[in-house]
Amino acid sequence: MPELPEVETVVRELRPRLVGRRITSVRVGKRALRRRWSPAWRRRLLGRRVTEVRRRGKWIVIDLDDQSEIVWHLGMTGQLTVVSAGQPRRPHTHIVLGLDEGERELRFRDVRRFGSAVWFPDRQAVERSFTEAGLGPEPFDLDRNTWRRRLAGTRRCLKAVLLDQRAVAGVGNIYADESLFEARLHPAQLGRQTSRRQAERLRQAIVTVLSRAIERRGSSIRDYVGGSGTPGSYQAEFRVYGRPGEPCPRCGRPIERVRLAGRSTHFCPRCQGNAPPANGQRD
């Protein structure tokens, strides 16, 4: 579910609800998430106060007052919300951190359990783990020449590059398709066949699409809600994702769906051209 706009929305909504609050209870379910929760972390967290909530790619980082940090990933169906403790706990709620006097709590709910929560002793350890994973630049900081070279140096298709968190952090299946449509580039076009102008167009398209999606508080198809528990609305503005057979909003041709980089991929065969010839550099 959650790509950069959804994660950004969660962070923005958690921040005012968490910063300054103290963790006074920790409850963790028995069933494992993607990464195992160490029982020792409970005592690390008790009594700590939240100093900041931030985002890196699709990761949520909660800073604590002893410099330690909790790093969350929402996987496909994760929800991280602050709610009043009286609200009934829905099924698949795996982690509950009680806050202050216990009137509110941070809840992690994740139906498919592809998400995770990991405690790190300090910021350096978190940064190290991001570096080891090769996590790439934030799309809003993406240098145009870095991006151009990245594309020029690969024979993977554009869709695969966009999904690769080492190339650019935070883009997932929805926003990859929407960005390629915005840039009028075919998802199967190879990176190395991408002209300078096309690369820059794609970079700007990513920024445009992600910014607009953040304004709409992300996309809610099924599970996603922000940090306050409210769904987003960008799904109403999808131009190709999830709309195979429907007319392209630019030219009216039916949107196509293919399998690319192992993922369902949506595009307009006219507006986004054909997969270019091996030596082609169209624009």
Where on the chain is the footprint of DNA (CB under 7 A)? 1-3, 6, 31-32, 34, 57-58, 73, 75-76, 91-92, 111-114, 133, 154-157, 160, 165, 172-174, 191, 219-224, 261-264
Q: Which is nearer to DNA, 57 or 139 (CB)?
A: 57
Tell me whether residue 167 or residue 248 sits nearer to DNA (CB atom): 167
State the nearest-atom distance from the C-beta of 130 to DNA, in Å.
10
Catalytic-residue membership of 16: no
**Does 139 participate in catalysis according to the annotation?**
no
Contacts of residue 149, defined as CB under 8 A and 6 or more positions apart, other chains included, come to: none
- Minimum distance of DNA from residue 193's CB (angstroms): 12
Q: Check 44, 48, 55, 58 and give the catalytic one.
A: 58
Phi, psi angle pair for 184, to nearest 5°: 55, 45
Select 62 or 190, whichever has its Cβ closest to DNA. Answer: 190
Please confirm, yes or no, whether 30 is among the known catalytic residues.
Answer: no
| Residue for token pair 């959650």 | 2
Q: How far is the CB of 254 from DNA (least distance, A)?
A: 16
58 given a catalytic annotation: yes
Closer of 46 and 152 to DNA (Cβ): 152
Question: In the complex, what is the shortest distance from the CB of residue 5 to DNA, in angstroms, rounded to a whole number?
Answer: 9
Q: Which residues are catalytic?
A: 2-3, 58, 263
